[in-house]
Amino acid sequence: MPPRARPDDENSTVVAGTFRRDLRARRPLQLELPEFLVIALETRVAEANATAPLHDRCTLNDYIETELVNIVTLRDVAELDLQVPGFAEAVHEWLVQMRE
């Protein structure tokens, strides 16, 4: 099992502080993954792109984003919107952008 981040580890906190965030903004995150997961992700991206037209091809970031959004349930959206006002609206706007 991989070691857990310690509270004093600078990478253990995704967001520092309690400030109003733009929930529609994008920001880079640095991840450390085992090589077998990287290969699996790259393989899925290659499979998705194999038959896709050029304008519909996805990147590794695109693929990871869509996979991660799949773990957010409707209940999560409702609960998070209570804790972070505007969360549901940001999710809705993301869905609209994905359809375009």
Can you tell me the distance from the alpha carbon of 39 to that of 61, in angstroms, rounded to the nearest whole number? 14
pTM of the model: 0.70
Query: What are the extents of the domains in the chain?
Result: 56-100
The rounded percent of the chain whose pLDDT value lies above 70 is 80
- What is residue 98's predicted lDDT score, i.e. its pLDDT? 85
pLDDT at residue number 6? 53
- Cβ-Cβ contacts under 8 Å for 66 (sequence gap 6 or more): 58, 98
pLDDT-derived band at 21, boundaries 50, 70, 90: confident
The answer to whether 77 touches 87, Cβ cutoff 8 Å, is yes
